Amino acid sequence: MSLWMHFSSQNACSPLMEHLIFFHDYSMMLIIIIISLIFYTILFILTNLNYNHFLIENQMIELIWTISPMLILIFLALPSLKILYLSDETFLSFFTVKITGHQWFWTYEFSDFFNIEFDSFMMNKLLKMNSFRLLDVDSHFIIPMNLNIRLLINSSDVIHSWTIPSMGIKIDAIPGRLNQISLITKRPGLFFGQCSEICGINHSFMPIVLESTKMNLFFNWLYKFI
């Protein structure tokens, strides 16, 4: 989760987020190199008093500054297309979870396991010393780690957005439409998110808590609903 004075991305907890952070660092490296070359060229032009009266054209320079941006865009497009491919549903999912946004809470439905369904509300009072204000919920969304889970997201009223930054997931919940995304968690723990689409007066009071755990603990949690 984000902490005070934390300006960079959260630690990656999914393969998709790892590739997104890599692509961000890779893009920033290319941008810094380009800006450095531009400033160097400007400084060289301003400090160089020599010039050529007979220079009319230079085909080689024009060829270089035409081909160089094309190559840079290709180097940016290749990892971007890889991330786009990974963000799509390319792997067989273990099970499906339907997530419905309401004003102002979330509903989770495990239709593959005896039609288990529950609501997740923000906790109005801090019941424990280690609780997080405005981020903890009464019912966690629990999934097993290292398995591909398919998420179906929709809304019952207005547009919401189911977002967990550490997973690299931000998908809109739109009334009358099902949006789909895959989710894989690489380690156990609690991962926090919030609705990222302004949906009303209590928009900032519908947090998301994803709990990643081992398979046996996940089935023990499911048995509580039976």
Query: pLDDT tens digits, residue range 71-93?
Result: 988 988 888 888 887 777 656 77
Exposure of 147 by Cβ count < 10 A (0-12 exposed, 13-18 middle, 19+ buried)?
middle
Q: What is the pLDDT of residues 141-155, one digit of tens each?
A: 898 988 888 889 999
**107 band by pLDDT with thresholds 50, 70 and 90:** very high
Q: What is the pLDDT of residues 194-225, one digit of tens each?
A: 888 898 888 888 999 998 998 888 888 888 77
Average pLDDT over residues 45-71: 82
Domains identified in the chain and CATH numbers: 15-47+60-88 (no CATH), 95-223 (2.60.40.420)
Check pLDDT > 90 for residue 39.
yes
Q: What is the pLDDT of residue 60?
A: 85
Question: What amino acid occupies position 27?
Answer: S
**106 band by pLDDT with thresholds 50, 70 and 90:** very high
- CA-derived radius of gyration, the chain: 24
Greatest C-alpha distance within the chain = 88
Check pLDDT > 80 for residue 50.
no
Q: Give pTM, 2 decimals.
A: 0.76
Looking at per-residue pLDDT, the higher value among 53 and 120 belongs to: 120
Q: What is the pLDDT of residue 33?
A: 92
Average pLDDT over residues 178-183: 87
Place of tokens 């689409």: 197
CA distance 161 to 67: 41
